[in-house]
Structure 1
Amino acid sequence: MIRIAVLGLDEVGREYARASKRDPTSRLVGVYDPDRARAERLGEELGVPASDHCQELLETANPEVCIVSPLETNEALVGDLLSRGIHVLFTLPMSPHAEEMEELLARNTTTRGMLAADFHLRFTPAMEKAREWVSGGEIGSPLFVNMNLWRDLPEEFGGNPALLFFELGLHGVDVIRQFVGDIERVQCFGVRDTRGCFTSAQINMMCSNGAVGHLTISYEMVTHHPIARCEIAGSRARVVIENVYEETTLYVHERPEKLVLTNSIFGGIPQLSETCYRRLNEFLTSVQKGDLARDATVVDACAATRVMKAAYHSAERGSVEEVEPGC
């Protein structure tokens, strides 16, 4: 069984710890958080060692895989883990500086450790079916994509003015890029709170393939209503994904009927946290196969970071911004 340690117990980190405990191919050997009480609570819940000293846990638990949550402020730790040959799955938010991500990407090709990004919203039957329809030509030539993604204010929000972009925004851009590829230019308008932190934003996008896109992100909604919707339209049809995993619909222009894939009550996704379990399972499969090329999410993370960096600058400056090339 693959030995896993979870380093950082924010909301997503805790879900990955629970997913690691459930996964039949892995063994959760420890959890770490600088907040000792938080670490001990989850350690007691899952019946695993807990520590507020990261290096101490690494030495005693000897993990093969570490889940680092979040990557932001932990780039040095990730680099150290990779140099030890430990595989790393990191969560968002990321640093707004894509260059730091690219340094980790370069290191990833020269070490025995595999590096991958979270992006758990990808790992649903609804997304898989949508990708199948789009890549198979069912929608024809892509014309536009609209993505809405929102939630309530995260517990780790603090006073980071750009967190909305480099956490929620990165997830939204990753979904958009699954269908239209690279993004060249962006224009963003945002809403700030009393501290000057962005809490809602709307972003227009020009894609390299000629399609246009739009992303709405917000920390001012609630989670007991739907949190996401994605619509991909082409010359022959539209595809709509409702609430991450609940339903995917194909609307063919020349047909009055629609084709719907609904989340099954038998073997379907029971709740959003299940996407973390599916993402973890996919990563562990890549680790077991020793196939670094199988998981290209780090390259995608670099690209999404550059898009959100341009969007943040656009919101600050009131300008249309070019997305820097890279990765």
Structure 2
Amino acid sequence: MGEADVVLVAGARLSPFTLRFGHLLGPDTTVIQIDTALQPTNPRVDTFVSADVKSAAEHILRMLDGGTSSEAWRAEARKRVAEGPAQTADGRLDPRALATALDAGLPERRTVVQDGGHFLGWAPMYWRIPRPQDLVMVGTAFQSIGLGLASAVGAARAVEDGRTLVLASGDGGFLMGLSDLESLIGAAHSAVVVIYNDAAYGAEIHQYGSQGLTQKPMLIPEVDFSGIARALGAESVIIRSLADLAALTDWIDAGAKGTFVADCRITSSVRAPWLSEWMAAKQAAKAAVAG
């Protein structure tokens, strides 16, 4: 997006998070915003249109007369996303390689629900999301972890037949909502649960452990979520290598019926770029106040 000549902002408020703390757009990019607000929501906007986004989008599509395609830039974006090695020096999975492999194996007709946590950007970065309504990020909206499983239960009831619900969660958030796993197993026609299990509260490890604070309270004794899931009636395996995803592939090939829990043992050595950006912005704000 930093290379774009024009960016059309439809309904987004252009918060610091949306704009990657001011680094998302190039200095010469023209920003057009469509919103029901009466005025631009950010000084970065060059042209503002006060309108209902759906009506405006329909009007723009009529102007374009169908002569557009998103595949070229989507393909280019996928090429630029860093994948990382399959496994890291500590013998655990790199979450980027895991996310890439999962995208290739998960059913194409998918609705993704996310908990909050350090892992929360891997699915939006690496997974194909078929429609806007197929990405549900409740944890992000509330700035909280532990809401993923409960949200997945509701989504499982709402998702149309033939679609697979995919829940992405960290181990800390999953433990907070663990009782809802039984509810999800009972509610879902087809569901895959991906647990990014780094045996820690990953966000705290990177934010506070990196500053020298003791990491003991941030660590979680590694939980065998696979064993718990099988006891509750789901199919499940521990994923220690990309080859272990064959069990998930077999389940999907057999019809993807019921619930499959992938207990993925990832490294805590990879820091997500969005967290690095937030940490840098926080330090810059502190320095500005101190100065």
State if a TM-score over 0.5 links the two structures.
no
Greater relative contact order (Cα < 8 A, sep 6+) = 1
> Highest Rg: 1 or 2?
2
Q: Scaled by the length of structure 2, what TM-score is found?
A: 0.32
Q: Scaled by the length of structure 1, what TM-score is found?
A: 0.30
